[in-house]
A and B are shown apart, each in its own frame.
Chain A
Amino acid sequence: MTERDTALPAIDPALRERMVEGICALLPHVLKREVTGATADTTLMEALGMSSTSGLELILELEERLDLEISVEELGRDDFGTVGTLADYVAGNLLPEA
């Protein structure tokens, strides 16, 4: 059982791609080391050794970098699987500009 609706609104592919790029660009800053070759399929914890705290930091940095607001209420461990799953979460949980 999850707390999400089973039918998600379709995510704009261009938006998702922007999120993937934004996340990849921030990896070196958050992990404090060089990161090369990261793609949407790169696993955050297994391949990159990202801790849950760094993952949360990544979201906050993404907000600042892209000038967006992201709702964190539904954020779960599964969203930190890969760069792609995180991008899916972010793209699907943007808050409208006030």
Chain B
Amino acid sequence: MRTFAPAAATGAAPTADGPSPAWGIRRAARLAFPQPAALAGDPVHTRRLRRYLADLLHPYGREPDPEALGAEAVSCEGQSYGEMAETLIDAIVPAGESVDLLVLAHSIPDITPGRATTTYLSHVCPGTPMAFAVSDQGAAGAFTALRLVDAYARSGGLRRALLLVVEQDSLPYHPGVPVPEVAGSRGVALLFGEPLPGERAARVSRVGTHVLPPDAPGAALAAELGALGGGPEPVTAVLGGVSTVDAAHPRPADLRFADAGQPGTGVWWELAGELAGPPAGPRRLLLADHDAGLRHLSVATVDLDGADEVPR
């Protein structure tokens, strides 16, 4: 059982049990899942999935792809976010530690579209965390989830948090509108908390999603890069869904482009890679993820190895 008092009104003093300034990302994990889920081979589940999807598609005048999920199918392709997340939890939560909050962000649905996956994850994650999912917001969903991790740490007293960003590569129907292609099932886990002695957490700030006017994201992206401030530490912009043209910018930032085959997890995959690498001195990452379909530009700033402590 978890109980909460509502968030204090804006402008009120931070609560006594909010996180310390050192709070941030303690650990990161990233995993690829090249095989289908174990559940994908279950005939009972496959029949159930087919019925669910057929009924889901019916009002749109469509049906599941007979080759991918025909009426006689006994197995399917694709991954289960429950299975993926369970593996990520095992990889990232240190032995003996507990988690207070788990937020799962995804866009493309998995092969268990009717399942309350995060409630199951709460059961298997140490600490029986408060848990919920954020979806139907394209690439921006992960940034909304990140904002919620921060918000629940500040106003809800849940400081040990796990953010899971996942996507899987199978869609057994033709939706009738363009969808970004996912090259493989992947997941990224970020563990938030107060750093232990000897640890340093990466501080996250300026998380938000811009709803763009109907033109290219170049202007908004330029504004974000420009706003990073003239600190001495090097800045790397990790860009998702952004072409080199849109990224062209007078400010000399190191630009890195996330894998185009990972529309949901790309920038997070890069972040996890940075966090897992050896300390390379104070530096700042700007994550900027552009979802062309929704016309959103989502951003987050991550300070690594004490960049937030560098005097300005």
Judge A-B direct contact (beta carbons within 8 Å): no
